[in-house]
Amino acid sequence: MKPLRNEFKVNWEDTRIRFRKWWEFQTLDRPILILRAPKPGWEEGFRSIASTSYVDHEIGRKDFESYLQRYLTNFSRIAYLAEAFPSLSVNLGPGAFGVYLGAKPLFTENSVWYEEKYASFEAVELSLKDGKEWLDFTLTSLRRAKEVSGGRFLLAFPDLVENLDTLAALFGTANLLIALIEHPSEIHTLQKQALTLWFEVFESMYPIIADEEGWSCYTIFDIWGPGTTAKLQCDLAAMLSPAMFDEFVLPYLTEQCLRITSPIFHLDGPDAVVHLPSILRIPSLRCVQWTPGAGKPDAGDPCWWDLIYRRVLDAGKSIHATMKAENVVPFVKHFGGTGVFVKTMVDSYREGEELLEKINSIREGGIWRS
């Protein structure tokens, strides 16, 4: 990509410096802060345009130029405060990799589901052939977005998803859980196949997405990092025992982390917390992102502070939390500026400035005030 330009965001270089230090677990004067606010006059409907969304499948696939124009319009209406930045992803939904492998996507207005492809686990050879149309659409669209960008915004990896979550999309969750017991060798074979193909997809996108310094961006969680940057996950882990997680998930996650420069793990829901000790043992994992799940307290709520965040930081890895604006200041006061990433949004530009000022004032004379 061309050198970054200041049309939508003005502090690119400072943001890059701060991200680099965060990835290196250095102490900053405040956490990485992804803070979006509407520019004055654009408050109405702000949250709908500020949230990363999936490709509009009626517009995006049939008229990608209109899709791009919509993003450019939205970028011009959003104030990217602190380390927030504009980015565009050609995102088919959570689990695009499964679509590239042949799972049929079933699009609804606000989400996407997947129709399983295989009825049996025996003699299956995973391939990108059946999903070639979708992968070609993604790559072609990313190249076009790169032309349009001109350094004004970042391109981002789509929400690929991997591991057992992808196999669940291809075979069905219930069938996969039974197969973990009845066909363990076949599952390991499929995991190895999927890992090879995942990197084939990932590495086909990286040269398009990478900026002029070789950094890359992952959608949804607003992470930007040196070299290859990726969110990794296994939401199915909530249904697994620690022993099964360590057998069927951990080896493949570990290999991904070894081959990715800036990996972050998405831990989803209280039922998955039992696997946190195993996840934290992955040497090259850099960060854990916590999502409490529907109906649970906000990710910034103190109930998660010791259960999740303190354990991750004590393991020498960074934390990433998306939270309500009212929880940001107490969270920052408690955790300080080493390895901490906070994402939020407010409903007016003035609120954004006031929140940033409060956060900047927490640390005085080099000492964090609690």
DSSP 360: H
**Confidence category of residue 51, pLDDT binned at 50, 70, 90:** low
* pLDDT at residue 41 greater than cutoff 50: yes
**Confidence category of residue 320, pLDDT binned at 50, 70, 90:** very high
Domain of 168? 12-368
Q: Classify residue 222: in a domain, yes or no.
A: yes
**Confidence category of residue 2, pLDDT binned at 50, 70, 90:** confident
Average pLDDT of the chain? Answer: 92
- pLDDT at res. 169: 95
Name residue, tokens 């996507």: 105
* pLDDT at residue 365 greater than cutoff 60: no
Average pLDDT over residues 281-295: 96
Q: Classify residue 279: in a domain, yes or no.
A: yes
368 membership: H or E segment, kind and range: strand 367-368
Average pLDDT over residues 177-193: 97
Burial category of 322 from C-beta neighbours within 10 Å (exposed 0-12, middle 13-18, buried 19 and up): buried
CATH number at residue 183: 3.20.20.210
Name residue, tokens 């002029």: 212
Average pLDDT over residues 131-158: 95
Taking alpha carbons only, the member of 80, 86, 19 closest to residue 345 is 80
Average pLDDT over residues 254-265: 98
Average pLDDT over residues 187-216: 97
Average pLDDT over residues 229-233: 97
Taking alpha carbons only, the member of 328, 333, 335, 336 closest to residue 355 is 328
* pLDDT at residue 54 greater than cutoff 80: no
117 membership: H or E segment, kind and range: none
* pLDDT at residue 255 greater than cutoff 70: yes
**Confidence category of residue 370, pLDDT binned at 50, 70, 90:** very low
Region of poorest pLDDT, from 3-7, 176-180, 199-203: 3-7
Q: Classify residue 5: in a domain, yes or no.
A: no
Average pLDDT over residues 252-272: 98
Q: Classify residue 295: in a domain, yes or no.
A: yes
Percent residues over pLDDT 90 in the chain: 82
Q: Classify residue 6: in a domain, yes or no.
A: no
Q: Classify residue 290: in a domain, yes or no.
A: yes
Q: What single string gives the DSSP state of each residue in 245-312?
A: HHHHTHHHHHHHHHH-SEEEEEEESGGGGGGHHHHHT-TT--EEEEE--TTSPPTTSGGGIIIIIHHH
> Phi, psi at residue 368, to the nearest 5°?
-75, 130
Average pLDDT over residues 131-155: 95
Number of domains in the chain: 1
Q: What is the residue type of 159?
A: D
Q: Classify residue 3: in a domain, yes or no.
A: no
Q: How far apart are CA 113 and CA 103, in angstroms?
A: 10
Average pLDDT over residues 111-122: 87
Cβ atoms 248, 168 nearer than 8 A: no
Q: Classify residue 256: in a domain, yes or no.
A: yes
Which residues are within 8 A (CB) of 360 and not within 5 positions of it... i.e. 6 or more apart? 29, 30
Higher local confidence (pLDDT), 6 or 93: 6
Size of the chain in residues: 370
**Confidence category of residue 111, pLDDT binned at 50, 70, 90:** confident
- pLDDT at res. 295: 94
* pLDDT at residue 220 greater than cutoff 70: yes
* pLDDT at residue 145 greater than cutoff 90: yes
